[in-house]
Amino acid sequence: MLSYRHGFHAGNHADVLKHMVLCLILRHLKAKGKPLSYIDTHSGAGAYSLQSAWSQQTSEYKNGVEKILNNRILMDAVPEYYRIIDTVNEGETSLKYYPGSPMFTAQILDESDNAHFMELHPTEYDNLKYNLHHYAYCHVHHRDAEEGLLALLPPAIRRGLIFIDPSYELENDYKNTVNMVKKAHLKFSQGIYAIWYPLLGKAGDRSYELVRNLTKLNIKRTIRAEFTVCAQDSIMGMHGSGMIICNAPYNLMDDLKKILPEITKSLALDETAKFKLEMLTADDC
């Protein structure tokens, strides 16, 4: 049973980190001027109205994207992120819409590339199909993440990004994510893998186990980029989130050094907010 709907959370602090990292990785891939493959295993609807009843109920974007809209340091470091937010809000006088990972990708890629998007929830799938219908290089699948990913690997274009953003609703999601990366890497060892994870209250937090098990896969240049907005037990739910990037592009670490301190400072809810940025595996492991 799928109950998670990203519309409640669109534009929150986790989306800011996740989508800036996505834009940076795609920038590195596009910089080579060669075609690339992209697979989004958990795509969501592709774009969200911040005026919807769901979004208004939680207002999570107010402690996320809304707080960094005029941040000059982040605008200079990740202009793509801002350009795409402007594009989905064209004609609006204030922030009304927030793009999901498929829309960021569709806007950065072009006809030379090949992108696949998996989404299992029927309504989210329909919305995604509608939101991407202008982009001929974007293929939307009503399909399970792992089944679809393994069926599509290795891609015809042997360079690219696998973007993994589960909702971690089920007990086994953490273990399944690691197994999925392990199996996918066996089929496509050159691929960049970017995996998002939440930082939850003490009782529910599984990030340590996830990061440890992903590191144990021993994929070269595995980076952890993580930040918190407040103390672990001062909030219900997520107090931060992180990304693991395996086979990370060479200069990604430098980009992350620019954005993580600024995201953390801008989105902090109390003085305990902090970030962690480290290379977990070597270049030659």
Ligand X SMILES: C[S@@+](CC[C@H](N)C(=O)[O-])C[C@H]1O[C@@H](n2cnc3c(N)ncnc32)[C@H](O)[C@@H]1O
Query: How far, in Å, CA of 148 to CA of 41, rounded?
Result: 8
- Does residue 120 touch ligand X according to CB under 6 A? yes
With CB atoms as reference, the residue minimizing the distance to ligand X is 100
Contact pick of 12, 17, 18, 108 for ligand X (by CB under 6 A): 18
Site string (167-206) toward ligand X, x via CB under 6 A: x---------------------------------------
Which residues lie closer than 8 Å to 99 by C-beta, 6 or more apart?
Answer: 19, 46, 47, 48, 84, 85, 87, 88, 107
Q: What is the helix (H) or strand (E) element at residue 276, kind and residue range?
A: strand 275-279
Q: For ligand X, which is the closer residue by CB, 60 or 281?
A: 60
Residue (17 or 74) nearer to ligand X, CB: 17
For residues 135 and 116, what is the distance between their CA atoms, to the nearest angstrom? 11
118 binding ligand X? (CB under 6 A): yes
CA proximity to 108, closest of 45, 36, 157: 36
Alpha-carbon distance 183 to 175, whole Å?
12
Find the part of the chain contacting ligand X (CB under 6 A) among 55-63, 119-127, 154-162, 218-226.
119-127
SS3 134: coil
Which part of the chain contacts ligand X (CB under 6 A), choosing from 1-9, 60-68, 187-195, 225-233? 1-9
Contact 243, 193 (CB under 8 A): no
With binding defined as CB under 6 A, does residue 207 bind ligand X?
no
Q: In degrees rounded to 5, what are phi and psi of residue 42? A: -130, 90
Task: State in angstroms the smallest separation of the CB of 214 from ligand X.
Answer: 18
Please report whether residue 116 would count as binding ligand X according to CB under 6 A.
Answer: no
Query: Which of 40, 165, 270, 284 does the annotation list as catalytic?
Result: 165
Residues found near ligand X in the complex (CB under 6 A): 2, 4, 6, 18, 42-44, 100-101, 118-121, 124, 144-145, 165, 167
